[in-house]
Structure 1
Amino acid sequence: MREKFMKSASIFSKAIIQPVMFMAVTGIILSVCAILSLEMMPTFSKNVGNFVYSILSGGMIGQLSAIFCVGIAAALAKPKYKTDAAILGIITYLLFLYANNAWLTVTNTLAEAGDQGLYGTGQGMVFGIQVTDMGVFLGILLGVFVGFMVNRFGEIKLHKYLSPYSGTKSVYILILFATILFAMGITYIWPIINHLVEAVVGTTTTAGALGFFFYGFLNRMLLPLGLHHFLWMPLFYTPLGGTAEIAGEMYNGAFNIWLAELGNASQITSMHPSIGYLANFGSISLPIGIAFALWKTAKPENKKKVAGILIPTVTTAFLAGVTEPLEFLFLFLSPVLWFAHSVVYGLSMLITNLVGISIQFDTGINMIINSFAFPAHLGRQYLIPLVFIVTAALEYFVFKTLIVKLDIPTLGREKSEDVEESSEEGDVEQTMDLPVVANTFDPQIQYIVAGLGGPENIASMMNCYTRLRVDVKDETKVDMAILNNKVKSSGIVDKGKHIQIVIGMGVEKEREKVEDYLNYLTTTQAQ
């Protein structure tokens, strides 16, 4: 049961991250639009900013549920079904809308719009159709459903006279009737679920700054399991992250609220509390404190080498918001350090919330851009340098103290001769036990496949921001010695049949190289 849950969670995490990556790009563009639309800007600049914002607001933010549906369906589907899954995703989404509206009409339960439109009625307008208002939950549920159905029944075979309707065409027939039944049943079930969601939101919002601490703490604690997506995604895009009425429209989720406020910056008199989830020093100041502590506690003769390793990881965190290459340097080495890091991460969000910093940032780039999007008295951007220093210093002090007091063998604190000897031995082994293949394949790629038990042991492989996520058929064939000692990575997460190799920002290219190597081996064996 545990293995099935971990596998399902891993698959869902990989699927949900792909649509979200486009939202991050949208956020940057909208931030620039907000700056162009400031009162001090010329009329032409304001018109351009408002024009682009209105397009993205309606075409991206307003249709996020549909985007999740198609994106998740395609991401979950097996490679040979991805195109059909994407098509079935949008078909299923539209079928739900029309079936749900038809049932509300037949049962005479269509809500009537009031002064605030359909807000508070449990119904909303999607693609111009009045339906049960499920927000992005609808897209997520339907996307998962389509992905499952395509993978489960995509191989259906029919009589030769009916063969044009086999495979994914048969899946479509099954999905059609299941979606209609779901659209009918949800009109009775969702109001109950929505009531529970509102209760959870009420509990969270009354927790105040303490709620932001626990969010930050759990965000890091769940990272090694790859389950942190389950925490921040609902807060960013669903009512769990807050609800706000902006310019006559209702928005759910912290990130959606932020984007809506960007588009209406001239009308905003106070920032919504949910923006606190988005003001995150975790990839900006905390990596600097960690890196400086690791460098400071390293042995004098190793400081230069340690700096050479740490500087790129801190730069990656600051510019791209990717902290895993740095965090995996100590994650598996010391659970105590990881727990302490999670606590400081939570405290940084608590402090940020208490002082009232209310602009979105999780990288240095969007921190700089977004600082100009709102007046300082609203976002309190002027406090960012102070909190930056405080949180970096806190992380540094905690790490330095623990490393010294507990004598933790972090980077650069090992015996130099042992490191050099093991490195030299590894270089010799690399020239001795690599299989004889075409020179176009890097040793790194060959060792990844060998460490995973060979091509025949790899069941599936995907990547997220920084990790190569692999499902293997037999965990006993996985050679952790090869993965840990010969594969250049920031860390290996061993979950039995589910292996994660932390590569960093170049993980997608690494995955493509591995796939090319696997294709080469398959072709060679066939010959």
Structure 2
Amino acid sequence: MKEKFMRSASTFSKAIIQPVMFMAVTGIILSVCAILKLDMMPTVSKEIGNFVFNIMSNGMIGQLSAIFCVGIAAALAKPKYKTDAAILGTITYLVFLYANNAWLTVTDRLAVAGEQGLYGTGQGTVFGIQVTDMGVFLGILLGVFVGVMVNKFGEIKLHKYLSPYSGTKSAYILIVFATILFAIGITYFWPAVNSVVETVVKATTTAGSVGFFFYGFLNRLLLPLGLHHFLWMPIFYTPLGGTAEIAGQVYNGAFNIWLAELGNAGSITTMHPSIGYLANFGSISLPIGIAFALWKTARPENRKKVAAILIPTVTTAFLAGVTEPLEFLFLFLSPILWLAHAIVYGVSMLITNLVGINIQFDTGINMIINSFAFPARLGHQYLIPIVFILTAVMEYLVFKLLIVKLDIPTLGREKKESSIDNLVIDETMDADDSIDNDSEFEPQIKNIVAGLGGAENIDNIINCYTRLRIDVKDTSKVNMKILKEKVQASGIVDKGKHIQIIIGVGVEEEREKVEAYMAHEKSLKA
């Protein structure tokens, strides 16, 4: 039961991350547009910034629910069904909207817009259709539903005369009628759910700065399980992260509120408190503190090699916001260090909130860009250097103290240097672990496939920001010795039939190479 739950959670996590990965890019584009729109900028600059901002805001942020629906449906579907799942995701979303609106009309329950529009009525307008306001939850629920249905009923076989309606076409028939019933039922059910969400939001917002500590603490604590997406995603994109009315429109979720404030920077007088969730030194100053502590506590003769490993990981964290390559250097080695890191992470968010830093940043790049998007009296950007140094020093002191006092064998502290050398792929194989010498593919790629039990044993492979997430058919065929000793990775997470390989930046290219090699192997056998 536990394994089934963990696999389902991991599957959902890797599906939800696919559409979210594009949000970071959208945020950078909108931040640049916000700078172009500042009062001090020339008229031409303002017009260009406003033009692009409105397009991206309405086209991406305003339709986030539909994007989640299609993205999750395609991500959850088996490789051979992905195109059909994307099409069915679009159809299902539209069917829901029209069915929901039709039932509200038939039962005479369409809300009447007031001075603030439909705000507060529990209904909203999507694609010009007035429906029960579920926000991004609608896209998530429908996307999961479509993905599951396509995988479950995509193999349906019918009589040869009915063969055009078999497979995913049969799944489509089931999906349509189930969606109509769901759209009707949600008009009665969702108001109660909405009340619960509002209660949770109220409890969270009244917790003050303590709530930001627990958010940061749990964010890191859940990382090894790959379940941290369940925490930050609702806060970023749903009412759980707050609700704000900006320029006559209502926005749900901390990230959506931030982007709306970016677009109206000239008229904003106070920053919404939810922005505190987005001001994150976790990938900026904390990695510097960790890396310096690991380097300082390493044996003098090993420090040069340790630095060669740490510098790229810190650079990756600062520029791309990807911290796993650094964190997985000590995550499995010492749970105590990981717990301490989670606490410091939470404390850093607590401090950031207490001093009132209210601009979005999780990488050095958008920290620099966004610092110019708002007046310092609103975002308190001038405090960033102070908190930067404070949090880096705090992380350094905590790590150094624990490593020395508990004699934790972190990178470079062993008498033998083999631990460092093992971080670089060993391209020589034992006789019993040998793989073919096809020079077309890199040893790294062949080692990954061999370690997972061969191409035929890989049921599904996908990537998130930093990890390859693989479902295998038979766990007995998985060779952890190859994965841990022959694959160049920051860490391996073994969850039975679900294996995660932490690659870092470039993971998408790695996945494509693995898929190409799998296809090559299968074609040879065929």
Normalised by the shorter chain, which TM-score bucket?
over 0.9
2:497 is aligned to 497
Change (3 A) 1:130 1:271: same
Matches within 5 A, 1:133-282: 133-282=133-282
1:478 is aligned to 478
Structure 2 residue matching 1:158: 3-state secondary structure: coil
Matches within 5 A, 1:311-350: 311-350=311-350
1:118 is aligned to 118
Matches within 5 A, 1:280-291: 280-291=280-291
1:396 is aligned to 396
Q: Tell me, in whole angstroms, the C-alpha distance in 2 between the residues paired with 1:137 and 1:358.
A: 26
- Aligned pair 1:361/2:361, yes or no? yes
Counterpart residue type for residue 363 of structure 2 = T
Task: Show CA shifts across 1:232-279 (max 9, x none).
Answer: 000000000000000010000000000000000000000000000000
Q: Tell me, in whole angstroms, the C-alpha distance in 1 between the residues paired with 2:260 and 2:425.
A: 57
The range that moved more, 54-63 or 401-410, is: 54-63
Change (3 A) 1:332 1:39: same
- How much has 1:62 moved relative to structure 2? 0.7
Q: Tell me, in whole angstroms, the C-alpha distance in 2 between the residues paired with 1:371 and 1:425.
A: 40
- Aligned pair 1:19/2:7, yes or no? no
Structure 1 stretches lacking a partner, 5+ long: none
Change (3 A) 1:419 1:70: closer
Q: Tell me, in whole angstroms, the C-alpha distance in 2 between the residues paired with 1:21 and 1:9.
A: 18
Change (3 A) 1:437 1:520: farther
Partners of 1:359 and 1:370 within 8 A in 2: yes
Q: Could you say what the CA RMSD is over the residues aligned between the two structures, in angstroms?
A: 1.5
Change (3 A) 1:3 1:423: closer
1:375 is aligned to 375
Structure 1 residue matching 2:108: 3-state secondary structure: coil
Structure 2 residue matching 1:494: 3-state secondary structure: strand
- How much has 1:476 moved relative to structure 2? 2.4
Structure 1 residue matching 2:461: 3-state secondary structure: strand
Change (3 A) 1:340 1:421: closer
Q: Tell me, in whole angstroms, the C-alpha distance in 1 between the residues paired with 2:349 and 2:203.
A: 18
Q: Tell me, in whole angstroms, the C-alpha distance in 1 between the residues paired with 2:193 and 2:452.
A: 42
Partners of 2:358 and 2:379 within 8 A in 1: yes
Change (3 A) 1:173 1:63: same
Counterpart residue type for residue 320 of structure 1 = A
Counterpart residue type for residue 103 of structure 2 = W
Change (3 A) 1:126 1:423: closer
Counterpart residue type for residue 113 of structure 2 = A
Partners of 2:492 and 2:502 within 8 A in 1: yes
Task: Show CA shifts across 1:307-353 (max 9, x none).
Answer: 00000000000000000000000000000000000000000000000
Which consecutive segments of 4 or more residues in structure 1 shift more than 4 A? 417-428, 430-433
Counterpart residue type for residue 309 of structure 1 = I
- How much has 1:141 moved relative to structure 2? 0.4
Q: Tell me, in whole angstroms, the C-alpha distance in 2 between the residues paired with 1:83 and 1:198.
A: 37
Change (3 A) 1:344 1:312: same
Structure 2 stretches lacking a partner, 5+ long: none
Task: Show CA shifts across 1:477-515 (max 9, x none).
Answer: 222121111111100001111111111111112112222
2:442 is aligned to 442
Structure 2 residue matching 1:416: 3-state secondary structure: coil
Change (3 A) 1:93 1:422: closer
- How much has 1:31 moved relative to structure 2? 0.5
Structure 2 residue matching 1:267: 3-state secondary structure: coil
Partners of 1:434 and 1:446 within 8 A in 2: no
Counterpart residue type for residue 514 of structure 2 = V
Task: Show CA shifts across 1:172-192 (max 9, x none).
Answer: 111111111000000000000
Q: TM-score, normalised by structure 1?
A: 0.97
Task: Show CA shifts across 1:414-463 (max 9, x none).
Answer: 11355589799956546885323311122212221221122232221111
Q: Tell me, in whole angstroms, the C-alpha distance in 2 between the residues paired with 1:440 and 1:68.
A: 37
Q: Tell me, in whole angstroms, the C-alpha distance in 1 between the residues paired with 2:249 and 2:429.
A: 63
The range that moved more, 324-333 or 420-429, is: 420-429
Q: Tell me, in whole angstroms, the C-alpha distance in 2 between the residues paired with 1:420 and 1:198.
A: 50
Structure 2 residue matching 1:392: 3-state secondary structure: helix
Task: Show CA shifts across 1:22-78 (max 9, x none).
Answer: 111111011011111111111111111111111111111111000100111111111
- Count of paired positions: 526
Change (3 A) 1:417 1:316: closer
- How much has 1:406 moved relative to structure 2? 0.2
Counterpart residue type for residue 49 of structure 2 = G
1:463 is aligned to 463
Change (3 A) 1:433 1:78: closer
Matches within 5 A, 1:38-187: 38-187=38-187
Partners of 1:302 and 1:416 within 8 A in 2: no
